[in-house]
Amino acid sequence: MAGDSPYTVKWGILATGGIAETFTKDLLTNPAIRDVSDVKHELVAVASSSSADRAADFIKRVDGPSSAEAYGSYAELVADPDVDIVYVATPHSHHFQNTMLCLEAGKNVLCEKAFTVTVAQAKKLVDKAKEKNLFLMEAVWTRCFPLSIKVRELISSGAIGTVYRTFADLSFGKANPDGSLDFPDTNRMVSLDLAGGALLDLGIYALTWVFQSLYHVQPEASKEAPDVVSAINKYKTGADEQTSIICQFHQHASMGIATTGLRVATDPDGQKTAGAAIRIQGSEGEIQVLHPAYRPTAYRVIKNDSDGKVEVVDCPIPTDPQRSNWGHGMFWEADECARCLRDGKKQSAFMPWEESIVIMDVMDQVLKQGSVTYPDLITTDVYDAKSPLNTGNQ
């Protein structure tokens, strides 16, 4: 149990891109803004694979402490004895090699989603975490939102009866008049070299809601992985540009439909007028979660006997007035990591290893059904400390 003083976790940040910046700025907010007093976070080191100067610039950009170390290689970061846990913020193409580098060095890891490129890689990471007795979690930050926790509680309590079907979508309208997408072919969203495509970057969130509502809440004794049927439209690069997935849970008589794409938007006018991004449908009503699937701030409950009345629950994301009113929502997953480390847990109940593996297996099946193939460099499940994905020589 936590004592009077908050448990402090010392973080190392592996990579210096946009998602790393957002996460780190959240780390540096005052936990009190979200009514947290049992844990807190310190930024102790940042690594760029190209230069220490880039890491130093990152620390300045996030208004980090002057005491934080700036490293020009990932190997230096994972060798730092002051680092308790590493946040792996590289593209998912790099996750397997980067996370193995951390685990082999004895570091606990929070690894960005998608966890890996293949299910085989995910299994290897979990096996290594078990072997090394380390904490490992896929950074599906949405799972740690108070909103998500409340929705799972509503489902488990039977608030909308037995849940039989979930629709979930996360899509963005990035189509140009000439038929191309609004990304260079080398962009991580569409490049095969970076495991690009809608599924691994956006579809994971649609699947997150399918799994939160239909799989995560299943009793442990009757956990059932789904049968999967899918369809993919490919972009000119070979990556998926539009993907639809049906997950069928036979024993539970339920289905989840997850869709994602880069040509039409879930929220076309940016005003949420198009309706709910997620519909969780039960025998006695439904829960609707508003766009975006990855960062929702409101949900609705509609009961069969509601007579036209809708319960709307707002769940705003707190901001820190001492840090330019910053607050994005990634701090909740950091708090979960801190509590797990404090309590000696090696995995989070919010995002268990087994569930990360099952979701990766679903995405593996979808990519195979759609004949999407990625280069051997990023799909191998053989760890190589000297891989260009670890050293930056790529």
Rounded Cα–Cα distance for residues 387 and 394 (Å): 9
- Looking at residue 200, the DSSP 8-state letter turns out to be I
Rounded to whole angstroms, the Cα distance separating 29 from 322 reads: 8
| Side-chain-facing half-sphere of 46: CA atoms under 13 Å | 32
60 noted as active-site residue: no
Q: Could you tell me which residues come within 8 angstroms of residue 308 by beta carbon, excluding any fewer than 6 positions away? A: none
Q: How many helices (H) and strands (E) does the chain have?
A: 12, 14
d(CA 241, CA 201): 11
Residue of 25, 113, 124, 128 marked catalytic: 113
Neighbouring residues of 336: CB distance < 8 A, sequence distance ≥ 6: 137, 144, 348, 350
Edge to edge, the sheet with strand 136-139 lists: 69-71, 39-47, 7-14, 85-88, 108-112, 136-139
Distance CA 145, CA 297 (A): 9
Q: Which two tokens stand for residue 287?
A: 């829960």
DSSP bridge pairs for 138? 111
> Please, how many CA atoms are within 13 Å of residue 77, restricted to the half-sphere of its CB?
38
Neighbours of 113 (CB within 10 A): 24
Task: Assign 190 to helix, strand or coil.
Answer: coil
- Report the C-alpha gap between 4 and 310 in whole angstroms: 42
d(CA 41, CA 362): 34
Tokens for 377, please give them.
């460099």
Of the candidates 287, 341, 367, 385, the one whose C-alpha atom is nearest the C-alpha of residue 11 is: 341
Answer whether 298's CB lies under 8 Å from 148's CB. Answer: no
Query: Cβ–Cβ contacts within 10 Å for residue 222, how many?
Result: 8
What residues are labeled active site?
113
